A and B are shown apart, each in its own frame.
Chain A
Amino acid sequence: DTAVSQTPKYLVTQMGNDKSIKCEQNLGHDTMYWYKQDSKKFLKIMFSYNNKELIINETVPNRFSPKSPDKAHLNLHINSLELGDSAVYFCASSPLPGQGNYGYTFGSGTRLTVV
């Protein structure tokens, strides 16, 4: 019954590989996000999707391509992985601003290690 579920939890891969992280939410939220947490634990927005439409792309390299097949899913595909991509990636969802409850729900994170 996990509200926002991400898979995999851990991902270790070699430089140059392509990998995907999947995210699903069962809260009926309209908006989903990908955040990156760096080695200093600082969180930063990468992408935001509202009802399958890309809303925010925060100057992320185009090796990162989000895909939202429906409003409950937001997957993150990363091409040609680099050492600097090593981080923890969090998926999150929220209702639209103005819909009363602005509550945010985060997934448990995917720790990506590029070797």
Chain B
Amino acid sequence: KNEVEQSPQNLTAQEGEFITINCSYSVGISALHWLQQHPGGGIVSLFMLSSGKKKHGRLIATINIQEKHSSLHITASHPRDSAVYICAVRAGGTSYGKLTFGQGTILTVHP
């Protein structure tokens, strides 16, 4: 079992819908990252969280450290949001910041 599990693996939505992607992890962490990867493109860091909630435009990320769970929400989704969204956790200690990744969620938003 992967240390980081995401759900769903695939998500299809209509433009304007509210979207939620979930991430659960089984290890102690110092931070959790949400990443976005467009087809054929590079990886962009959307959020880094160690507690609470962060918002950037239409994107909201939350984390519950006690429950080892994080969610990424997209409000008023748009076709340009279509991408792979990846949850990654950064362990503490001597790991020097290495990330352990979930398998990604493929999001397709139709007009």
Proximity string of chain B (71-102) to chain A, C-beta cutoff 8 Å, 1 when within and 0 when not: 00000000000001010101010111111110
Proximity string of chain A (13-45) to chain B, C-beta cutoff 8 Å, 1 when within and 0 when not: 000000000000000000101010000111111
* B59 contacts chain A at the CB level, 8 A cutoff: no
B105 → chain A closest CB, angstroms: 11
For the A-B complex, the count of residue pairs with Cβ-Cβ distances under 8 Å equals 69
A64 → chain B closest CB, angstroms: 16
Q: Select the stretch in B11-19, B20-28, B39-47, B61-69 that faces chain A.
A: B39-47
Chain B's interface: helix, strand, loop or mixed, by majority? strand
Query: Which residues of chain B are near A97, meaning CB under 8 Å?
Result: 30, 90, 92, 96-97
- State in angstroms the CA–CA spacing of A33 and B98 once bound together: 8
Q: Evaluate contact between A43 and B86: CB separation under 8 angstroms.
A: yes
The number of chain B residues touching the other chain, given as a range, is 20 to 34
Interface residues of A (CB under 8 A from B): 31, 33, 35, 40-45, 48, 50, 55-56, 58, 90, 92, 94, 96-97, 101-109
Q: Evaluate contact between B99 and A45: CB separation under 8 angstroms.
A: yes
